[in-house]
Every structure is written in C-alpha cells, then in structure tokens.
C-alpha cells in the first residue's frame, strides 16, 4: 500500500523539488545540472519572499509529485504555476489530488499575504500537452471544480467565495527595448526560474533551431543575474529570444512557426 505524505517545501527539501522533474539518467548531464541550479536559486528567492511556494508529495518517502504556487496580492488570488507527477508508477494513486487539496485547505484560511484575509480564488494556466496515458492538466482541474477564465480553455480558476467571477487585472505588455549591438546576432536569456528543464529542454532547443536557420549568426547568452544590466536595459526576462534585434514570440516547441520568425528576423529568403 502506498503511503502519501504532503510536505511544504523548506530549506531542507528544496533539492527534492528541484530534481523531481529531471530523469535520473540525466542527473550528471551539465545542461540539466545548470537547470537544477537555476531552479535552486529561484526557489531560495521564493522561500525568502513568500515563506511558502510549493508542496511535495512523498510516496513511501520518495518524492513523487509537487505543486508550485505564488500569491498575487493585488488581485487577492494565488496562482498555481505547475502541478506535476512525472513517474508513471505514481499515477492514479491520488498524488496530484492530495497536493491540490492540501493547498486548497491552506488557502481557505486567513493568510499574511493578503493582510490576514483569505484569497478569493486559485488560478492556473494549464499546459495543453501531456504524456501519453496521463490525465491532461486541464481535465484534472476542471474535474475538481475549476472554471474557465473567459474563452481560454487552459486559463482556469477555483473561487472560494460564492458568486465570485475572476477577471484578470490588465497589465501592460513587457516590451523589448532594442539595442544597436543586437543587430546581426541572437540573444537567449537564461537565469533563475521555476522549471529545472527550461535551460536544457527549451533554451538549448532555441539555440539549435536558430543554428538550423543560420549557422553563422553569433549567439549570445545573457544570464539575468550575471548580466543583469544587459538584461534590464533590454527589458527582457528568462526564456526570451531576440534575433537581429527582433524578439521571437513564437513558442519554441512549435518549431515551424519559431523558425519562420527567425528567418524573417535574419532576412533570409527560402523557396
């Protein structure tokens, strides 16, 4: 019988949170090591800022899944960044459900984030993909009472107050500020972030796809900590990609669309 224990992430188990997404056969891979270190830095900052930002489910003392979240005080809501149970052997055992229910239980109580008031809702943007045979995140949340925000099927909320309808606060778009030296080269922004595979799976893929379009274009990596001034004056953040002074907005996993915009940016023409 599987014993499931839910623990809040603290200093002593940040390592469990940051490695749980990484396959054990990749633990010595330098790209994955960098990604884990970036998440450790992000996690330490989140712990300092909020005191609580994630929960881990342990199955027979083995880390099996997690839920990450962050308060949005000016909207009186808590945003769920990610809920993930990576290993198939832990599926269909109630791991994700117990994680969510633990968070809901916490959020039904007064919280210092909101001036000792209760939040109005949980919100989440679900990832539309998923592993074969695994319940899609969107379906998981809808089955547990979440409702759609507007027309986006992957933008959901769970109200804690009867009759409450969540309406996102309008926020200004973050606009890239081009620099003259960005012309004729590509920039990729890395640094502390909430996903340990951002660097290895997404950013290195950007680099590879750019090289397939133009094998000679210089590619420069800026770290949000080590190159903070360079990143700040361009108004960029982790995950951004700029080619020939044009920000590439297409998601890198949509390879055709991503490379099409890279071709436009470098001015190449193809038959």
Q: Specify if 165 maps to a domain.
A: no
Residue range of the domain that includes 245: 180-266
Q: Specify if 175 maps to a domain.
A: no
Q: Tell me how far apart the alpha carbons of residues 143 and 101 are, in angstroms, rounded to a whole number.
A: 13
* 170 vs 97, residue with greater confidence: 97
Q: State residue 131's pLDDT score.
A: 73
Place of tokens 């990729």: 188
Angle between helices 255-266 and 204-213 (to 10 degrees): 60
Secondary structure letter of residue 186 according to DSSP: E
Chain centre distance of CA 163: 30
Residues 153 and 253 in one domain: no
> Structure tokens of 93?
């055992």
Beta pairing partners, 67: 55, 83
Residues 148 and 185 in one domain: no
Q: How many residues does the chain have?
A: 271
Secondary structure letter of residue 170 according to DSSP: P
Rounded to two decimals, what is the model's pTM? 0.90
Q: Specify if 164 maps to a domain.
A: no
Beta pairing partners, 247: 242
* Mean pLDDT on 1-5: 82
Q: Give the end of a domain, one of 106, 124, 159.
A: 159
Q: How confident is the model at residue 271 (pLDDT cuts 50, 70, 90)?
A: very low
Q: Tell me how far apart the alpha carbons of residues 157 and 123 are, in angstroms, rounded to a whole number.
A: 4
Q: State residue 268's pLDDT score.
A: 57
Q: State residue 129's pLDDT score.
A: 66
- pLDDT, one tens digit per residue, over 53-88 is 999 999 988 999 999 999 999 999 999 999 999 988
**Mean pLDDT in the chain?**
93
Q: Tell me how far apart the alpha carbons of residues 74 and 22 are, in angstroms, rounded to a whole number.
A: 34
Residues 92 and 198 in one domain: no
- pLDDT, one tens digit per residue, over 156-193 is 999 999 999 999 998 877 899 999 999 999 999 999 99
Is residue 38 helix, strand or coil? helix
Residues 103 and 204 in one domain: no
Q: State residue 1's pLDDT score.
A: 61
Residues 44 and 141 in one domain: yes
pLDDT at 251 over 80: yes
193: domain CATH number?
A: 3.40.30.10
> How many separate domains does the chain show?
2
Residue 40 CB partners (closer than 8 Å, separation 6+): 14, 15, 18
């Amino acid at each position: 019988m599987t014993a499931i224990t839910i623990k809040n992430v603290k200093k002593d188990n940040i390592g469990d949170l940051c490695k749980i997404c990484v396959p054990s056969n990749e633990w010595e891979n330098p790209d994955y090591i960098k990604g884990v270190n970036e998440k450790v830095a992000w996690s330490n900052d989140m712990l300092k800022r909020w005191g609580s930002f994630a929960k881990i489910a342990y199955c027979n003392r083995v880390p099996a899944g997690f839920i990450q979240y962050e308060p949005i005080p000016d909207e009186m809501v808590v945003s769920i960044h990610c809920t993930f149970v990576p290993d198939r052997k832990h599926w269909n055992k109630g791991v994700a459900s117990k994680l969510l229910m633990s968070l809901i239980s916490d959020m039904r109580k007064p919280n210092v984030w909101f001036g000792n008031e209760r939040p109005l809702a949980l919100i989440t943007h679900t990832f539309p993909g998923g592993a074969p045979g695994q319940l899609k995140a969107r379906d998981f949340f809808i089955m547990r009472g979440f409702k759609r925000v507007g027309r986006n099927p992957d933008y959901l909320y769970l109200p804690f107050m009867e009759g409450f309808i969540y309406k996102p606060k309008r926020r200004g778009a973050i606009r890239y500020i081009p620099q003259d030296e960005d012309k004729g080269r590509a920039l990729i922004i890395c640094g502390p972030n909430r996903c340990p595979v951002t660097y290895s799976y997404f950013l290195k893929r950007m680099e590879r796809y750019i090289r397939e379009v133009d094998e000679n274009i210089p590619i420069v990596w800026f770290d949000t900590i080590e190159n903070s001034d360079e990143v700040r004056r361009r108004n960029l953040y982790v995950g951004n990609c700029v080619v020939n002074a044009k920000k590439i907005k297409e998601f890198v996993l949509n390879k055709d669309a991503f490379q099409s915009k890279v071709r436009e940016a470098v001015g190449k023409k193809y038959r």
